[in-house]
Amino acid sequence: MLQQFLFYGLALLTVGSAMLVAFSRNIVYSTFALLGAFMGVVGIYILLAADFVAMVQLLVYVGGILVLTIFAVMLTAGIADVTVSNRAVGMGSAFFTVAIAAMVMLYAIARTQWHQAAAVTPMPTTYAIGNAFLGDYVLPFEVASLVLLAALIGAIVISRHEARE
């Protein structure tokens, strides 16, 4: 019962924040609402016992991308004064498309015969992922690290002032 309450609360947080991101007319408010959407997804991953995916979501999206977006928005001069980031063009066709998608989903939900699976005890996943990275997948893991290192060096070379002139 508590898990269902938590799930519906997290789903409401995620969907509500995503709606604020999409419909807010201020980009600063949209960026901060994105934090709520990302944190709701982290909570849902935790409820699904996907601890590794939850922490990757937290570190990469909340810790990296969202902070970078907030800094970019805050450091842009006069961005807080801009109040029309999402124009009202095409609201009728968007509403029509969303209504049709909602009807299709409700039809699928109503016609599906749902089967309830047996309760499973959640197990941590990080141990198996760590062993796989250091065992069978050590070569692809190291190749990916070299590709990321090359991309980092390329970004440094491109951003140097002497290289641009």
Tens-binned pLDDT, residue by residue, of the chain (165 aa): 888 999 999 999 999 999 998 888 777 788 889 999 999 999 999 998 888 889 888 988 888 888 888 777 777 766 655 555 556 667 788 889 989 999 999 999 999 998 888 877 777 778 888 888 888 899 998 999 999 899 888 888 877 766 555
Total Cβ atoms within 10 A of residue 31: 19
C-alpha–C-alpha distance, residues 62 and 57, integer Å: 7
Q: What is the pLDDT of residue 108?
A: 95
Q: What is the pLDDT of residue 161?
A: 62
Would the CA dihedral through 45, 50, 53, 59 be positive or negative?
positive
Q: Where are the alpha helices (DSSP H) in the chain?
A: 2-23, 27-47, 51-56, 67-75, 91-111, 126-133, 138-159, 161-164
Query: What is the reported pTM?
Result: 0.65
Q: What is the pLDDT of residue 79?
A: 62
- Which tokens hold the place of 9? 């609360």
Q: What does the angle CA 71 – CA 26 – CA 86 come to, to the nearest 5 degrees? A: 115
